Amino acid sequence: MKAAITGLTHYLPDYVLTNEELSQMVDTNDEWITTRVGIKERHILKDPHAGSSALAIPAVKELLEKTGTCPEEVDCFICASSAPDYRWPSTAAIICDACDIRHAMAYDIQAACSGFLFNLNQARAFIESGLYKKIIVCQAEKCSSFVDYTDRSTCPLFGDGGAAALVEPTDDDSIGIQDAVLYTNGEGNDHLILKAGGSVNVPSHQTVDDKWSYIYQDGRYVFKNAVTMMTQTSGEIMKKNNLTLEDIDWVCTHQANKRIIDAVRQYVGVSEEKVICNIEKVGNTSSASIPIALHMAAQEGKLKKGDTLLLAAFGSGFTYGAMILKWADCKI
């Protein structure tokens, strides 16, 4: 029994924030952002009262429709978000309510930008054990809510977006999630962190003055670790599964920086045509970045049933790892 992605959708808010517009907000320019990060534009949810759930609800509704799934059939719902609507209730509870899903074990996970792979691996365990049969894994990311638009070193990087996947059992061994190696190494904790809002630094005038409700990152340190950790785990999973470069049809890594994607590709040794990348138009949408990129590639007709995909993720924690996924008959 394998777990396969049988449906995939994504949602991006309408507003497009271009490098030109950013250049009027902070001391930056299109040339710097393009060459150092590879992003030209990102989508932003402008409504200040709408949270991350607003980015996932349209994706989940579309997923139910495209896959012909009734809300009451969904027995498990896992939501990854780096920017949950509230501390509680869970963002999963809010999305399920809006989508009429009322018979699922619904909950959030926190694995930052690695959320999609952590989500999928958990869904895989539930499917392989026989515990659940129709699982929605959902990624809801209003990243703009933790970005300081006066900080030029972070504000060009992030965009908002949501994605949802239906994961179901299959008897066909040639498709579905084949394997995953996922880790968390807390030595990275202080280098990529949102300090306020949790129980250590509860929101206060001081946390606002100190800008602790915004992302803090040590960019170079994060960059180096992202490359090393995604490269190492990609090599590890290929070796573990006796795969050579010829066996891999597509590589899709977390979309944080084009230079990170290029470096991982070069270290792994994969040719550029095999890389799925949408960073130029979407930016870093945290846990939603890999599923949005996959969905766009599928819509472009790139992904065929049986294709072998190498996925690699990295995020705060540091959470990181790689997965081998064989593409299924997936409703898009």
Q: Which residues bind ligand COA (CB under 6 A)?
A: 28, 32-33, 36-37, 113, 152-153, 156, 192, 217, 219-220, 222-223, 226, 256-257, 284, 314-315
Cβ proximity to ligand COA: between 192 and 196 the closer is 192
Nearest distance in Å: CB 318, ligand COA: 9
Tokens 């992302």 — which residue? 215
Alpha carbon distance 215, 161 (integer Å):
17
- As annotated, the active-site residues are 113, 254, 284
Alpha-helix runs per DSSP H in the chain? 19-25, 30-36, 53-67, 91-98, 115-129, 205-209, 219-240, 258-268, 279-282, 289-299
For 254-269, letters b (16+ CB in 10 Å) and e give: bbbbbebbbbbbeebe
The DSSP secondary-structure symbol of 60 reads H
Question: Which of 179, 280, 265, 174 is CA-nearest to residue 226?
Answer: 265
Residue 9 pairs in a beta bridge with: 164
Report the residue number, 152 or 302, with the smaller CB distance to ligand COA: 152
Query: What is the CA angle 287-37-119, rounded to 5?
Result: 10
Other beta carbons within 10 angstroms of residue 70's beta carbon come to 11
Nearer Cβ to ligand COA (43/331):
43
Smallest gap from residue 218 Cβ to ligand COA (A): 8
Q: How far is the CB of 98 from ligand COA (least distance, A)?
A: 28
CB of 242 to ligand COA, least distance (A): 30
Closest separation in Å from C-beta 43 to ligand COA: 17
* Minimum CB–partner distance for residue 146 and ligand COA (Å): 11
**Peptide bond preceding 318: is omega within 30 degrees of 0, i.e. cis?**
yes
Is 4 or 261 the residue whose CB approaches ligand COA more closely?
Answer: 261
Torsion of CA 237, 234, 125, 317, to 10 degrees: 130
Closest CB to ligand COA belongs to which residue? Answer: 219
Nearer to ligand COA, 104 or 120 (CB): 120
φ and ψ at 186, to 5 degrees? -65, -5
Interior/surface letters 42-58, b for 16+ CB within 10 angstroms, e for the rest: bbbbeeeebbbbbbbbb
Q: Which is nearer to ligand COA, 36 or 211 (CB)?
A: 36
